[in-house]
Amino acid sequence: MALPHTLPVISGERWQVVVHNDDHNVFAVVHHLLRKVCGASDAVAREKTTEVHRNGRAVVGEYGSRDEAEMIALDLIRFGLRTTFGKV
């Protein structure tokens, strides 16, 4: 689920963005935001949204830099999704 732009990569460094289930965002909203913010295809967004719903969380992206992962996580947070990011 790569973004159209890339930031510099520190060799071997990987960062994950994780969306967590909550009580107020409906399936359609999470699906839409994964498509809009993460650049996911319809099928991938549906799969990840289902995973969030069923398992309470899903890794929605893995990136080569902290800045890129943080930017995606903050955008999802701004839209109201419970999101974290961290080093793999």
Q: What is the pLDDT along the chain (88 residues), one digit of tens a residue?
A: 444 444 555 568 999 999 999 999 999 999 999 999 999 999 999 999 999 999 999 999 999 999 999 999 999 999 999 999 999 9
Please tell me the predicted confidence (pLDDT) of residue 12: 80
Q: What is the DSSP string of the chain?
A: ---SS-----TT--EEEEEE--SS--HHHHHHHHHHHH---HHHHHHHHHHHHHHSEEEEEEESSHHHHHHHHHHHHHTT-EEEEEE-
Report domain extents, the chain.
Answer: 24-81
- Look up the pTM and report it: 0.85
